């Protein structure tokens, strides 16, 4: 997670920005929808990795926030006619953040494995509430949303049009993802990282580690809620699946396949996952089985994920160029491991 201020990466960032800006001119229809989906799931996965990769907190319940955001925006738009789109998204995100705070207060009393287990139990609770409270959530039928037009001063965006929604999600989620990246370099972000490495020392140094963990948990809940609210607007529909354990599994697979040891890992993972899913589901309806096998193989052999492989390869070529001694190269790979 070294800070990359070299000109190459800054150029890379601008290149990505320009490519994303002109993409709707090149891609149409379904292809553009896939990219939009990748952007939405990127934020979801980035927020998950702030927990898993940065804080070392393994959660099996991130979908409870994604789903809360998704349902909140749908319910708001259904019950308050004429509510502006951005206000609905903001309120849904705020509500999810508050939910995250309450859940965090309960869950963060335990750590490690019990925490992982309880996140799963709470996800099941949220799912059960969503199924039972069908007068509000539509139960198994879900809710159909009619996203209102977004009027800005000069232009009007129609969320039902592919390119419009693409720009909308990019304009909202892109800066938020950049903010997450910035966050990892703030004092707060650093505290979280150091806590993962040695919590006792941080406590001796006078940091309130519980408060730091709670703040991070609340933040990631809000981010997942934002991703969820955009997700349900994107499909103009929200089903009970959005809050299910499968949606947690999805983000876990994305993040891990991409790599937890680097900020870009989850974004890469979201892209690879969605395109792979799209490709595999055309071949066989048992694509989840293939995903599962791929995941197990990666847990066994490449704990650093795709980013770990890329980093390893880069290190290997760099060390090859510098010193003719090959033995030094391949070491130090996968240096990151959770505990």
Partner 1 sequence: MSDIAIFFLHGLAYAGLLFLVSSGLTLVFGMMSVLNFAHASFYMLGAYFAYWLLQITGNFWLALLISPLMLLVIGALVERFLLRKVHVLGHVHELLLTFGLAYIIDEAVKLIWGTNPHAIIISGFLAHTVNIMGVTYPVYRLFVFGVSMALGLFMWLILFKTRIGIIVRAAVEDSPMVGSLGINVPLVFMGVFSVGAALSGLAGVTAGPLLSVDPGMAGAILVDAFVVIVVGGMGSLGGAVLASFIIGELQSFGVLLFPDFSLALIYMLMAVVLVIRPEGLFGEKQ
Q: Which residue ranges make up the site for partner 1 (CB under 8 A)?
A: 52, 56, 58, 60, 106-107, 109-114, 116-118, 120-121, 124-125, 128, 132, 245, 249, 252, 256, 286, 288-289, 291-293, 295-296, 299-300, 303, 337-339
* Residue number, 97 or 119, with CB nearest to partner 1: 119
Secondary structure of residue 156 in the 3-state scheme: strand
In angstroms, give the least distance from the CB of 252 to partner 1: 7
The residue among 145 and 202 lying less far from partner 1, judged by its C-beta, is 202
Minimum distance from CB of 42 to partner 1 (Å)? 21
Shortest distance, CB of residue 8 to partner 1, whole angstroms? 31
Q: Which is nearer to partner 1, 39 or 311 (CB)?
A: 311
Which of 64, 39, 49, 101 has the alpha carbon at shortest distance from 233?
39
Q: Which two tokens stand for residue 74?
A: 């749908």
Task: Round to whole Å and give the CA distance between 66 and 87.
Answer: 18
Nearest distance in Å: CB 336, partner 1? 10
- Cα angle, residue 66 at apex, residues 62 and 69 outer, rounded to 5°: 140
Q: Which residues, in sequence order, are CB contacts of 6 under 8 Å at separation 6+?
A: none
Q: How far is the CB of 204 from partner 1 (least distance, A)?
A: 18
Give the whole-angstrom CA distance, residue 13 versus residue 31.
22
Identity of the residue, 194 or 290, whose beta carbon is nearer to partner 1 in the bound complex = 290
Using the minimum distance from each CB to partner 1, give the nearer residue, 67 or 147: 67
Q: CB of 296: closest distance to partner 1 in angstroms?
A: 4
Q: What is the DSSP letter of 149?
A: P
As a whole number of angstroms, the distance between CA 42 and CA 40 comes to 5
- Minimum distance of partner 1 from residue 157's CB (angstroms): 38
What is the 3-state composition of the chain as percent helix, strand, coil, each rounded to the nearest 5?
75, 0, 25
Q: What CA–CA distance (Å, rounded) separates 221 from 224? A: 5
Nearer to partner 1, 61 or 162 (CB): 61
- Whether the Cβ atoms of residue 88 and residue 76 lie closer than 8 Å to each other: yes
Contact 249, 24 (CB under 8 A): no
- Looking at the Cβ atoms of 15 and 299, the one nearer to partner 1 is 299
């Amino acid at each position: 997670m070294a800070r990359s201020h070299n000109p190459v990466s800054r150029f890379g960032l601008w290149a990505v920005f320009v490519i994303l800006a002109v993409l709707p001119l090149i891609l149409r229809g379904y292809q553009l929808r896939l990219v939009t989906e990748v952007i939405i799931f990127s934020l979801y996965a980035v927020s998950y990795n702030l927990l898993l990769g940065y804080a070392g907190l393994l959660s099996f319940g991130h979908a409870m926030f994604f789903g809360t955001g998704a349902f909140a925006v749908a319910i708001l738009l259904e019950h308050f006619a004429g509510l502006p789109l951005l206000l609905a998204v903001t309120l849904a995100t705020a509500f999810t953040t508050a939910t995250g705070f309450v859940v965090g207060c309960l869950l963060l009393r335990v750590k490690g494995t019990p925490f992982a287990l309880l996140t799963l139990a709470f996800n099941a609770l949220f799912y059960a509430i969503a199924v039972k409270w069908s007068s509000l959530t539509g139960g198994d039928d879900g809710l159909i949303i009619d996203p209102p037009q977004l009027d800005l001063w000069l232009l009007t965006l129609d969320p039902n049009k592919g390119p419009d929604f693409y720009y909308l999600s990019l304009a909202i989620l892109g800066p938020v993802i950049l903010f997450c990246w910035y966050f990892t370099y703030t004092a707060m972000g650093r505290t979280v990282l150091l806590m993962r490495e040695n919590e006792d020392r941080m406590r001796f140094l006078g940091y309130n580690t519980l408060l730091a963990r709670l703040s991070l948990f609340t933040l990631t809940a809000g981010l997942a809620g934002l991703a969820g609210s955009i997700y349900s607007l994107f499909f103009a529909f929200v089903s009970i699946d959005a809050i299910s354990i499968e949606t947690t599994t999805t983000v876990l697979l994305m993040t891990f396949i991409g790599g937890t040891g680097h900020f870009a890992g989850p974004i890469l993972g979201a892209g690879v996952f969605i395109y792979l899913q799209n490709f595999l589901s055309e071949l066989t309806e048992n694509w989840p089985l293939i995903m599962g096998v791929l995941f197990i193989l990666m847990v066994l052999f490449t704990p650093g994920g795709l980013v770990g492989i890329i980093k390893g390869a880069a290190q290997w070529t760099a060390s090859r160029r510098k010193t003719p001694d090959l033995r030094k190269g391949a070491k130090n790979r996968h240096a990151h491991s959770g505990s």
